[in-house]
Structure 1
């Protein structure tokens, strides 16, 4: 290996964030050429994850490290959302008996690269949706590994969770989670509810927040929140909530 290529490799490895992915596009900005990459991989200084991405040998990369590469290097509009975001914000005050895949959300027609799906596809669930504007209620949150990931705020994540219930998440579980969300910020929640594309999610949020007597309900302007028309039947043989025109599990309607 030439001294120039060796120096480039040393600088690259020194700057590499532990347990993360480096994309070809990012490496190109560092002056790493395709010939360099071929030499580095053949010499086992780098390991290819497939077309467009690399990691350091003998290093375990989690989906969080891979997502960090997508967000920071490729500017991919994919964020951590729904239950996974709520867990990151500490809103999982109950025991889950089954492991679940991490929930990542993006606008419609945004695909995860093949290399990401090949290595972490079994650990994540990618949902394409037009539920909310892409940047509303999405901020950076640092994982225990130290990665700053674009993540839904608790307020946005609650609507994402309700939008995906009952198909992906249980309605009763969602109700239990909502009971713990006493710190919802009214201004942000108002904006999210007004711009949310799902009538079902809007109605569910208001019903569950009212049921749990969450403080946010005393500050929302309900006249500005469109609840649509017609009934929404979410379970067979459920209990009907006339105010919000929802058919829900009896556990969420009948007195405990």
Structure 2
């Protein structure tokens, strides 16, 4: 048991090949199994008996077993403090990036909320923008995308109007991104559409760091790219984007839980808003001012296309 304790930490998942590399023979592994000193989670995968697994233990075990993997996309954004923009009450699967196929046991291990291996990696080479986050008693280093890299990873997966509107809400809270790191990441990014969409979102929202990005050093390819059908063409980045968020020229509205706080523009009275639950508030944005109005302060009349014409009740604004 002394040998096992010296090489295998609590919570680590290993296979027989790992034991072999540590000088532990197969017969010794069988003995550890029979004696209950290790247990099999699935065929060929072992751990010391202990409390329920956490997903971070699975990720670190993958790294120990030789897989080049990091935590990114929405999972990394949540870690960096942007979880308030995600769907409340919905468990988000852990987003992983890896140049290799993950072993089949990743899907078989019973652990919530599950894993998603991202198919589209805008950074096929290099580790720029990755940071190690220490986890657990042993301070295991787990690579995460920085917020800057994670936002670019997010941009690489936006395909619908709804995706873009949700991403825009998250971008609105990203006032403290580092322009030097963003510059390096955008120059290293291998996906033209991703870079154009990220830069369009950054310009549309207008955070101060955008002014420090040297677009002339970023290869943006040629020709037009359609991101959403029925959208409007942005003449700078040559992508079709939702009409209602093009440079903040049109009103955009999103339903958020009551008490939502974010960054939104000004509301122009008399525009259309989606029908909403009376226990919600409306985050209204136009230009650079935020306003969140509880629905019960609004009056509305049914309109077409599931929308309502709204007026203000017990509420006045001087814009």
Q: What's the TM-score once normalised by structure 1's chain length? A: 0.84
Change in 2 beyond 3 A, CA 1:10/1:85 = closer
Counterpart of 2:114 in structure 1 is 123
Q: Which of 79, 84, 87 matches 1:88?
A: 79
State the Cα distance separating 1:95 from its structure 2 match. 4.7
- Aligned pairs for 1:63-78 (under 5 A) are 63-71=55-63, 73-78=64-69
Change in 2 beyond 3 A, CA 1:25/1:216 = farther
Counterpart of 1:3 in structure 2 is none
State the Cα distance separating 1:157 from its structure 2 match. 0.9
| Secondary structure of 1:93's aligned partner | helix
Number of aligned residue pairs:
244
Q: Which of 94, 104, 119 matches 1:114?
A: 104
| Secondary structure of 2:85's aligned partner | coil
Q: Which of 131, 135, 144 matches 1:139?
A: 131
Kindly indicate whether the alpha-carbon contact (under 8 Å) linking 1:140 and 1:151 is maintained by their aligned counterparts in 2.
Answer: yes
Q: Larger Cα Rg: Structure 1 or Structure 2?
A: 2
Q: Show CA shifts across 1:201-239 (max 9, x none).
A: 111111111112122212111111122222222222223
Counterpart of 2:169 in structure 1 is 176
State the Cα distance separating 1:63 from its structure 2 match. 2.3
State the Cα distance separating 1:25 from its structure 2 match. 3.9
Structure with the larger strand share:
2
Q: Which of 3, 6, 10 matches 1:8?
A: 3
Change in 2 beyond 3 A, CA 1:218/1:116 = same
Unaligned runs of 5+ in 2: 252-285, 287-319
Change in 2 beyond 3 A, CA 1:9/1:227 = closer
Q: Which of 57, 67, 73 matches 2:49?
A: 57
Kindly indicate whether the alpha-carbon contact (under 8 Å) linking 1:82 and 1:160 is maintained by their aligned counterparts in 2.
Answer: yes
Q: Show CA shifts across 1:178-221 (max 9, x none).
A: 11112221222111111211111111111111112122212111
Change in 2 beyond 3 A, CA 1:53/1:187 = same
Q: Report the aligned-residue RMSD.
A: 2.4
Counterpart of 2:302 in structure 1 is none
Unaligned runs of 5+ in 1: 1-5
Q: What's the TM-score once normalised by structure 2's chain length? A: 0.69
| 1:151 corresponds to 2:144 | yes
Counterpart of 1:36 in structure 2 is 28
Counterpart of 1:198 in structure 2 is 191
| Secondary structure of 1:22's aligned partner | coil
